[in-house]
Structure 1
Amino acid sequence: MPPDITPPDTAATPAAELARLFARGAAFLGARVPILGGAMSWVSERHLVAAISNAGGFGVIACGAMGPDLLAAEIAATQALTDRPFGVNLITMHPALDALIAVTLAAGVTHVVLAGGLPPGGAIRAIKDGGARVICFAPALSLARRLVRLGADALVIEGSEAGGHIGPVSLTVLAQEILPHIDEVPVFVAGGIGRGEAILAYLEMGAAGAQLGTRFVASTESIAHPRFKEAFLRAHARDAVPSVQLDERFPVIPVRGLANEGTRRFLAHQIAVRDRFLAGELTREAAQLEIEHFWAGALRRAVIEGDVETGSVMAGQSVGIVAAIQPISAIIAELESQAEAALAARLARAAPPSPRE
């Protein structure tokens, strides 16, 4: 089914026109509006996920490093807080992926998001055979087409503006590369989205909806530490920067977060480890491990304990748009009203001029 991107009906109300643009993504998710919550470790847990779904969006549990028993408990706790559909994000490299899929299906979860790399075909088949829908991340058009062939029911294209682990390409480029060519399945956009006008623009390009993370972190229902949320309120877009790789011999997976003492120490740590490697004190493998272990536990320290100085304060560039800590329902309502206002202005411009008296 191709996206509905017919010209707007100038006789339609802005609300009706927005509903038309929302229709495909909302139907796929079983939600009132096609706005997904990004799966953020330590943040996207039962309270936030349920709040997003209860407000008409689509919450997604971040499984992360959870084992099957812990995930089962989190799903059950979320179901106790909402009777609306929600999803579970599973990391494809998790050693217990098959067991996590089984737990998710047994709990009756309707949508499974596979992240962290190209998912094995067996995982996609198992999810679909279990009656759930599969959502995958597509960082390029070639991979988007491959994922559709593998059986993905929907795609997310996430730009480098996003918080956390990121790819190298911005959403504005990915949208131009992918949206005109993939219409077999719904495509949701993510990365740097913080206002309804942006969502509207991508809907009109053919997107089925949008995924947001940073805006939802700064919500009253988010369990993130008050200092974590306050850091979002103080930050500008330019403060959300990707982690820096000092030496190509020691790859660093790019992660976008707020610059702080921790990011400065990470650079110094890489220099020290590289010097020890050059001096023959460390093998390349041992040096790589020392670099990778620097951030171990740093996200939890920031999110749960409020260590925003040395912890990892993951945030997207839309952090500069965050101006207040709001209830999830208010955030979604604001996004809708902004999109409707933009549509109203556009429809007014497209309307024929009134005849002169």
Structure 2
Amino acid sequence: MTNYPNTAALMQRGTDFLGCDTAILCGAMSWVSERNLVAAISNAGGFGVIACGAMTPELLDTEITANKALTSKPFGVNLITMHPGLFDLIAVCRKHGVTHVVLAGGIPPKGSVEAIKADDSGIKVICFAPTLALAKKLLRSGADALVIEGMEAGGHIGPVSTSVLAQEILPELAAKHLIFVAGGIGRGEAIASYLEMGAAGVQLGTRFACATESIAHPDFKKAFFRASAREAVASVQVDPRLPVIPVRALKNKGTEEFTAKQREVAALLDAGAVDMGEAQLQIEHFWAGALRRAVIDGDVENGSVMAGQSVGMVKAEEPAADIIAELMAQCEAALAK
């Protein structure tokens, strides 16, 4: 960080908390944020986060072991709060001495934060806060840091833009708490503005999805290189009785398939064939399968090409270290003006 004194000073709280050189987290992207990308980001001084997604505890155990073989630097694990095996996944993280656990996808269920921190584990808990009220509640409930993610982000999103969330939450909480900003960040100038508002650091996903170390299919990466911001669209909720978290992805046939899937699940709900929990789980399984088709198989027409609105700034495959260096240089130049 010697080349970036202004940035280093503003990121100090974030880097101390994460235990890395730069307070830039890589957002957990299912199928993308696995050992190769996560280790590369941590080795480059950022903070890599394994996306557990729908993994079983056994798969997560294997992934963490493999990641530790590639890096000795700190990294986190992102767990989905609605995962039926959440507490078993927490046990795997504890077994491996994972330093940070990110809880995503909703309010952490009762006892989950306590399970992570039990027996003075020292594990830090990071939660997502879509509103100021919820941010305060999560901090009271034991969250050590928060990510505020705006609707510009890729994947599952909330309804409010990053800039509005930052204005609502940072002035209220950033002086005494660690807040990381995410959603639509593609350049260092944006990082500089959030750091100056009091953020401890930032989280980016879309910018790292096409890193050289990312295992995403070449056709998935090409779809990113061709896309503009306006092509990364949010999914539409078809039935108000079936609350579905919107997902931002590049518009394709898969987007239309999701609309049909919602109608199918809503009909099952009407018929009493499934309860609300099972209905929402079916929707999540749809996304997991659709995302795999795009990321792993390269089916960018029918799969889900989840991407944030910063996708228009992703023009070529670059090593994770180069992406981080470029972001830091841009941020430092903006702060030095």
| Alignment partner, residue 144 of structure 1 | 135
Aligned partner (choices 230, 243, 255) of residue 222 of structure 2: 230
Contact persistence 2:158–2:245 (CA under 8 A): no
* Residues 110-163 of structure 1: CA deviation (Å, up to 9, x unaligned): 111111111135221222232211111111111111111111111100001100
1:245-264 aligned within 5 A: 245-264=237-256
1:242, 1:31 → 2: CA distance?
33
Classify 1:261/1:72 alpha carbon distance in 2 versus 1 (closer, same or farther; 3 Å).
same
| Alignment partner, residue 164 of structure 1 | 155
Classify 1:30/1:64 alpha carbon distance in 2 versus 1 (closer, same or farther; 3 Å).
same
Classify 1:250/1:127 alpha carbon distance in 2 versus 1 (closer, same or farther; 3 Å).
closer
Q: Where do 4+ consecutive residues of structure 1 move more than 6 Å?
A: 271-274
Deviates further, 330-339 or 92-101: 92-101
Flag the structure with larger Rg: 1
| Alignment partner, residue 80 of structure 1 | 69
Contact persistence 2:54–2:288 (CA under 8 A): no
**What is the RMSD computed on CA atoms of the aligned residues?**
2.3
Classify 1:126/1:296 alpha carbon distance in 2 versus 1 (closer, same or farther; 3 Å).
closer
Displacement of 1:286 after TM fit? 6.2
Aligned partner (choices 31, 42, 45) of residue 53 of structure 1: 42
* Residues 158-194 of structure 1: CA deviation (Å, up to 9, x unaligned): 0011000111111111101110111332100000001
* Residues 207-237 of structure 1: CA deviation (Å, up to 9, x unaligned): 0000000010011000000000000000000
- SS at 2:126's partner residue? strand
- Output the amino acid matched with 2:169: I
Structure 1: segments with no counterpart, 5+ residues: 1-12, 347-357
1:86, 1:296 → 2: CA distance?
23
What percent of counterpart residues are identical? 67
2:46, 2:314 → 1: CA distance?
19
Scaled by the length of structure 2, the TM-score of the pair is: 0.91
2:156, 2:247 → 1: CA distance?
4
Contact persistence 2:154–2:248 (CA under 8 A): yes
Contact persistence 2:33–2:49 (CA under 8 A): yes
- Output the amino acid matched with 1:92: T
Aligned partner (choices 154, 174, 187) of residue 195 of structure 1: 187
Displacement of 1:95 after TM fit? 1.6
| Alignment partner, residue 290 of structure 2 | 298
1:2-17 aligned within 5 A: 15-17=4-6
Classify 1:121/1:241 alpha carbon distance in 2 versus 1 (closer, same or farther; 3 Å).
same
Scaled by the length of structure 1, the TM-score of the pair is: 0.86
Contact persistence 2:78–2:103 (CA under 8 A): yes
| Alignment partner, residue 5 of structure 1 | none
Residues matched between the structures, number: 329
- Output the amino acid matched with 2:31: W
Displacement of 1:68 after TM fit? 1.3
